[in-house]
Amino acid sequence: MKSPIPDYLKQVLEHVRPQDGGTPADYIETLAKADTSRLAVALAMVDGQIYSAGDDTVEFSIQSISKAFVYAMAIEDAGLEAVLAKIGVEPSGDAFNKLSLERGSNRPMNPMINAGAITAHLSNLSVDEEVYEAELRDADRNMGIGYMLKAAGIITCVPREAVTGYIRQCSINVNVKDLAMMLATLCNAGIHPVTGESIIPQTSVRQVFSVMTTCGMYDAAGAWVSRIGIPAKSGVAGAIIGALPGQVGIATFSPRLDERGNSVRGVKICERLSSDMGLHMMDVSQIAVATVRTSMATIINSGPDAHTDNCNRSVVIFSMRGVVRFGGSERLTRAIVRELDAPNPEDPGSGRAHDACAVVLSFHEVFSLSPVAKRVSHEDIFRLVKEGRLVVAIDPGDVLQIDRGAAGEKFKVVETEEQARYEIGGTGCQAVAQSNDW
């Protein structure tokens, strides 16, 4: 079975594709010539799983999105107190390239505007030289910010060095999958989800997310938090990053920008994801966490109406518990795919249930399913049935709220494990556990 999540992401892209407002950043020659048809989205889970759709391998310059990561590096290098002495954390309410400093302290208002990012700048390794040269040709305003910072005593280096370093940092090439994994690292308390390497201290991650929440979308930050409700940062190449700490990193790409410098389609994608997936950090409609447990059993038939076709065959049981939101449903989907697909030599233990005669989904201990968790679970069921598998849901609380007719004859909903065994093996059916208890 294929995961429904990539298909969902494709649907999201097609939903926003008709949005043709905005224009590419016209003050940077290379960006002004961008292909405005490009559109992509990626999600990276905190265990390293990535889902993407659209132009997900197309590279673009990271631009101001680099500010979030350089800010984290500056904190690690100099310490939070030293950084706060030079850069504030308050929303400016101004455009990202405004020549302004905080009254009294002469600090840049926050690290997400150009003045703060120039102050925080640290050198980077690889850049898109064409973008770098194009930005450098039109760097007068940023040079002005650099000299303003030097005059205010915020930086002590040669202003041109700070500005050119900042422009190089903004010229690094990435794609949406790169950015989503970078965000997943932050979401995973600064630990890289794949390598397990600690990249950024947890306290720095908290500071970065806090500033991204209040300042990451410039003078649109208030509207962003109220409508979408996740820490985020945009870049004028057309990318937006967002995060739900502890769960998922998000990246979108579309070059058309609104008057505030944020991707028009990117904002719409994030609105849709936040609404569908219940990502808004102020959402208190559902509380707690979900877990998924997988177990196997062998069917033994002894009754007069035993289903002999299933005798001595395996059944795979996926049991969920708690409040299930997108993260929980994604883990269920991944467990189903891993257990039911053909064994993969590179993934020991996969494919254990490849020949299972039935799939049991137990929602007995599930308190509730969020709307997106229902959609993902429904799609899992539809796809399993389409493959010809018998699917039995144990759902005494009707948390699935599924149209049973739409799923077909091979889908059954019951209230107890005994009823599930009957649907699989008939009267007198017994299930002998191979792993865990069922």
pLDDT at position 154: 76
pLDDT of residue 300: 63
Nearest residue to 324 via CA among 375, 379, 373: 373
Interior/surface letters 353-391, b for 16+ CB within 10 angstroms, e for the rest: beebbbbbbbbbebebbbebbbbbbbbbbbbbbeeebbb
For the chain, where do the domains classified as CATH 3.30.750.24 start and end? 292-433
**Does the domain at residues 292-433 carry the CATH identifier 3.10.270.10?**
no
**Residue ranges, CATH 3.40.710.10, the chain:** 4-277
How far is the CA of 19 from the CAs of 81, 268, 345, in angstroms? 43, 9, 44
CA distances from 235 to 96, 107, 211, 216, 256 (A): 10, 23, 16, 10, 11
Residues 6+ apart with CB under 8 A from 275: none
Question: How would you class 129 by CB atoms within 10 Å of its CB: exposed for 0-12, middle for 13-18, buried for 19 or more?
Answer: exposed
- Mean pLDDT (10-residue bins), the chain, 438 residues: 93 96 91 95 95 97 91 86 78 54 58 52 60 83 79 79 84 94 94 92 92 86 91 95 93 96 96 91 67 80 55 83 89 93 88 90 92 93 94 95 89 93 72 49
pLDDT score, position 191? 93
- List Cβ neighbours of 345 (8 Å cut-off, separation of 6 or more): none
The pLDDT value given to residue 166: 83
Give the pLDDT of residue 432: 53
| pLDDT recorded at residue 25 | 92
The CATH number, out of the four listed (3.40.50.261, 3.40.50.720, 3.40.250.10, 3.40.710.10), of the domain defined by the range 4-277: 3.40.710.10
> What pLDDT is attached to residue 235?
94
Q: What is the pLDDT of residue 364?
A: 93
* 288: number of Cβ within 10 Å: 11
